[in-house]
Structure 1
Amino acid sequence: MSEQKINIPKLGIFLGVVAAVASGLLAAVNVQTKPQIEKNAALKKEEAMNQVLPPFKKLVSLEKAIDGATFSVALDENNVPVGIAGVAEQEGFSGPVEVMVGLNPDGTIRKVLVTKQTETPGLGTVITDRKIQKTINDLFHPTELVGLPPNQYLDQYETATSETTWTVTKDGGDIDAKTGATITSRAVCAAVSKVYKAYNGHSDEILKGAE
Structure 2
Amino acid sequence: MLSPTPRTRHRRMKDNGRADRADLTAVLAAGLVAHLGVLVDGHPMVVPTVYGFDEQRIFLHGSVASRSLTVKNEVCVTVTVLDGLILARSVFEHGINYRSAMIYGVPVPVTDPDDLLYGLRLLTEHVAPGQWDYARPPSTKELAATTLLAVPLDEASVKISDGPPDDGDGPDAALGLWAGRLPVAATWGTPVADPLLPAGIEPPPHISNRTGRPITG
**More RCO (CA 8 Å, sep 6+):** 2
TM-score, normalised on structure 1?
A: 0.22
Structure having the larger proportion of residues in helix = 1
Structure having the larger proportion of residues in strand = 2
TM-score, normalised on structure 2?
A: 0.22
